[in-house]
A and B are shown apart, each in its own frame.
Chain A
């Protein structure tokens, strides 16, 4: 169901609209976290929602991430649909016990009796000169947790439809929002309620010489690189994975088979990052089509640098993506 009218919104506005609609549609939906009430969230994604829906449905919690995740789990057990905000994805670490030991497991542990329709929203990623820990990309930790889904939108209209789908999903969904896209990404967003399916990757640019694969904040970086490559006559296919778990392997492998060359781009540290999983899947499923090794462009095996002057060297750029493309094209 897609409403006809569309306006240009940034990603924060699109997410705000999705939360507003979710609260309006289903009385079981609750929005909570640190500073989401009166302040409206540090990025203003929940601005005005407490005034509109009351303190019972949109509320501030004490500053305690494990408590927030535990509260969300209990609320979902009791039949509610909690949408928790963790102020930065790098602050999820105190809650990892709740996530790994419980959020992902309750359905399995109870053999289907207790399902947890929880959404955890958290901003992630760098490029906007935040303090230490604020730019972490911990998606691989989450993806390595059976029982949860991990969704990372790359644009405002995708964010709105995917967030509404996440709220309606019967399982726990981590919804990671690239901080750089909050105000940096603008697009036409349909009015009203619509959902986009979880678990599908999408081809955002067609091409036949090489395939770029990434998600979230890296999609615009990949598109920028593809644009530059196009000027030199190199046609690059770009895939936005969008949902990391469950992964749409069919679309991924199909895209790699079409070009025979693949570069995976992600801004977390390289070792054990989600791009390693993507490379492994390509090796398992499309090796016969490969004309070059799969190359990763990622952060370095170091904490995300809190030093703003050199941060841009850590976060993959279009230049680094182009260098990787050159490697796979000249192999």
Chain B
């Protein structure tokens, strides 16, 4: 009996360790390569870690501000993702308040109609969305990435579910005291939905940071694009053997902001575990 339990435990360990090695070695190898000298990069034979750690790749990447303005791209991404995330939080909390705590005719019908439409595969609206962005004059501006994503229904659904769990008495009594809807939203509901908003913020930020297809379509100006689209250009610029160190350096610089966010927000990722269990059957 006991022996059986131990076997399953070691099998679990073995499996997880193998998976984690496969998952982590590419990262280590990439980081290591970014610190290899150019002569070491092209010398054959496999070494996980560099013989001499050098920072010449990063120096080269950071000084090349014309063909590959990596810091500019990272800044563009930070501006886009931060602004997008902030606006997402405003829109979803206000809208979810309307759909969950205000009474008006046809409320739920309207909500579920919009939700149903939003399930329609969005590949169909890709080309006209570009036309709309073009008409608004937003091609090659941050707004092309900040605004369209605010229309989604997924986060609103999540926050609405969360708000429905807050007792009605709280806002009823505030209402009797003469508080306006805005005051109830701002003073009572908003502080209570912090956990779900943090989760939405993390997903919005990383989602916007990692978006690829849309930026590749709406940005042609090298200076204006976010870092995901920039890295596609770098594949051509640094594509030869001697520049692989610089390619890795750029890729890893692009990863730093989301990594920092992850490590500072790790406990909220754990919280998101509890929230997503809301979808269990």
Asked if A and B are interacting partners, one says no
A residues in contact (CB < 8 Å) with B: none
